[in-house]
Amino acid sequence: MGGCFAKPGIKPAERAAAMEKYKLSEEEIRKIEEFFYDRASKRKYVTYSGFRTLYASSRFDQEEADMQAVFRTIARPPQLDGRIDFDSFVRLILLCNRGKEVEGASEEDRMRVLFDVMDSDGSESISKPEFQRFLLNFVDDDTATSQMFDKLDSDQSEEIDFQEFSSFCKSNRKVYRKMCLYVFPSG
């Protein structure tokens, strides 16, 4: 319970900027704002622990390292010291909004986040161990994930780049959907 302490206020200019950038209506942005108020500190950012509460009703038991990777991917770069500000929070919520096609939260953006989370050493490519470690969160079969990787890795470079990864997502909707449910909090 937040009691009666002052809530962080989003300035009208900030709200207008987010509406413009993400093509949202006043009503939509106010809803996201309320959601943000519930988790943000008085300094108007969401820390890792606030972010983690978004997964409270997840059907998965997320690996902490994966959640830290999602947070780092969404949070503003080092100058904000790994915090999710209002703009990044709006992006996160739109990324989670799987049912509705919202401009500004394209499938490409979603795939980009998934790719960066899987690429745990930040090499801009996904190795077989990275691929299998992540996929084993929802595919209960080492051989299946190994075969998936080999099929994807047509030039046998032992690495998957973003192009290969996005075609994988497009042709394996079931796995893609599970990856989204795992990485983007629902609810």
Q: Choose among 134, 129, 49: nearest CA to 83.
A: 49
Give φ, ψ of 22 to 5 degrees.
-105, 10
Per CB under 5 A, the segment of 9-17, 120-128, 165-173, 177-185 that binds Ca ion is 120-128
- Residue 72: CB minimum distance to Ca ion, A: 15
Secondary structure of residue 57 in the 3-state scheme: coil
Smallest gap from Cβ 131 to Ca ion, in A, equals 9
Total chain residues near Ca ion (CB under 5 A): 3
Please choose, out of 80-88, 97-105, 112-120, 168-176, the segment that lies near Ca ion by the rule CB under 5 A.
Answer: 112-120
Q: What's the min distance (Å) between Cβ of 138 and Ca ion? A: 20
121 lines the binding site for Ca ion (CB under 5 A): yes
Task: Pick the binder of Ca ion from 119, 149, 176, 185 (CB under 5 A).
Answer: 119
Q: How far apart are CA 88 and CA 94, in angstroms?
A: 10
Q: Residue 152 Cβ, how far from Ca ion at the closest point, in Å?
A: 14
Q: What does the alpha-carbon distance between residue 4 and residue 170 come to, in Å, rounded to a whole number?
A: 47
Measured CA angle at 56 (ends 183, 168), to 5 deg? 15
Q: What is the DSSP string of 24-51?
A: --HHHHHHHHHHHHHH--TTS-B-HHHH
Near Ca ion by CB under 5 A, which window of 3-11, 64-72, 114-122, 141-149?
A: 114-122
Q: Note whether 116 binds Ca ion by CB under 5 A.
A: no
* 158 touching Ca ion, by CB under 5 A: no
- Residue nearest to Ca ion as judged by C-beta position: 123
Q: Which residues pair with 46 in a beta bridge?
A: 84
Nearest residue (CB) to Ca ion, 85 versus 161:
161
| Contact window for Ca ion (CB under 5 A) among 39-47, 67-75, 99-107, 119-127 | 119-127
CB neighbour burial string for 64-76, b if at least 16 within 10 angstroms, e if fewer: eebbebbbebbbe
- Which stretches of the chain bind Ca ion, using CB under 5 A? 119, 121, 123
